[in-house]
Structure 1
Amino acid sequence: MAVTADDLTPAEHALYLAALSNGGHLAAPPAAGPGADSGADSAALAGLLARGLFAPGAAGYAAVDPRAAGDRLAAGLRGEATRLLVRAENLPDALAPLTAAYDAAHQGPESHHVEGRDAIRHRISQLLAECQEELLTAQPGPHWAVTLEPALSQDLPLLMTGRRMRTIYQPAARRRPAVVEYAGAVTRHGSRIRLLDEPFDRTIIVDRSTAVVSARSDHGAAAFITDRATVAALVAVFERDWSRAAAVDWSATPHRAATRITGLLARGLTQGAIATRLGLSERTVAAHIARLRDRHGAQTLFQLGWRMRGEGDG
């Protein structure tokens, strides 16, 4: 690391000014006045010599013009900056063997299959961490409540760092409180979610370069595809479906969660059971129940359920 002049200590600054007041000369070694710390003066002198602000002379030390010292220090910094830039330019080549090994292990030439839900989720998490621009997802099917909580923890950081997201659901998603809660959260940060009332396949496309599709009907295996022509064809299918899908104002639908909670409370379910049934957090359910208690003047869940008989939607 080059020595710089922009971090002079108070002792170095004072010693340089003392030399100037003495005609630009400093006796050797520095004289210690009453109460002075000769060790600190010696350290200050060493620092000024290292920066080129003092030069040894016949009778001690002479103060050097800071402009000349600054030019030398600046030249050293520029040289160090050049060395760092060269290292930065060479870094991809230095990591090339590791990059090739990573690609061989995770991507393969065109596609590879991953077995098991945990392994699939792990590989998708890796892809999302590498996403640079855009995530496209088509998500039919009944597995929303299981997957939305980890999805939210992955998707919000993507959106908050400028990446784009578009998702297609089927209309049944609008009746799922967990989906409504997730959609409201991500659309507030720029995600776009539409509903398509026709069959489509589960697909994830990252940066239009890697696609993930189900490889078995039970979604226990997935194909990770990097072949450009195949990925381009899947992007075209997504764009076709997106153009036919309907936009939804997800901010206008959270009341559905309260409606479902009301119905389940009237049927005698506990707070924990309701959270599990609807795929919501217990904190969300507790907040809804607190508002219902206030509305009905109930002190306990039993009282609340009794007073709400006939209001539930079954």
Structure 2
Amino acid sequence: MQQNKTVTEFILLGLTQDPVKQKMVFIIFFIFYTGTLVGNLLIIVTIKFSQTLGSPMYFFLFYLSIADTCFSTSTAPRLIVGSVSAKTVISYNECMTQIFALHLFGSMGIFVLILMAVDRYVAICKPLQYPTIMRRQVCIILIIVAWIGSFIHSTAQILLALKLKFCGPNLIDHYCCDLQPLLKLACMDTYVINLLLVFNSGAICSISFLLLMISYFVILHSLRNHSAEGRKKALSTCTSHIIVVILFFGPCIFIYTRPPTTFPMDKMVTVFYTIGTPFLNPLIYTLRNAEVKNAMRKLWSVKITSESK
């Protein structure tokens, strides 16, 4: 870490300074975060131990749930604790670590969503070649590449953050550390860094969203040649993925593809994709997926039966 900074810690202002609203924030986001942990861990355990969820789609869903759990954990606990604390102080090193974790697991979620779209494209548009193209070794390599890509992206983000010089004030008008709110506090010209931020995070969000929507358009267009039952199953799966893509990428594009200006809704938009989306993903992928629900029932019924014996 750089040692030439007069600011060694920051104060996070959180979502609100109103004591009554802070209690509401604590209750609401404690429930959201608990639901995120329970829902995603349930999916992780079910896919890990189920004999019926061995397809590439569930292999990728396993890693999406891991990414979502870690992504939410990088921000939610501090928001929850901060809502009942007199002052939320975060050290400079902790702030940099949070930025790294936020972008590592956020970008991993993006890359896994892309891999899930690729999997659906091959399954629907090239069904005969699917077992060969999406074999287990290929899926493992793709996940490794996704982790490497995420690490490169988050490293680029942290290098940009480390270039910022802070000499006061140290009040971050946000509930977490990220480059956008930190740019406002830097006592230096941040024009170039903001351009690099937009080019890095903004480009990843925008291009990924565009590619995903094009791929799902191609998939849905190709369904016209399938049977009614095949169309229904494919539509159910693709609809779930499209909902997740829109919920996640909409807020990301809003935050990372604009000049360094702030809006009153910025914090709530960030809350939606850092805490809201990881909470909704398990609901979307389980409530709309009969295979996952059946696997959960079988797994937990076997566990309960074995324990009763």
Indicate the TM-score class for this superposition, using the shorter chain for normalisation: under 0.3
- Greater helix fraction, Structure 1 or Structure 2: 2
Q: TM-score, normalised by structure 2?
A: 0.20
Which structure has more relative contact order (CA 8 Å, sep 6+)? It is: 2
- Greater strand fraction, Structure 1 or Structure 2: 1
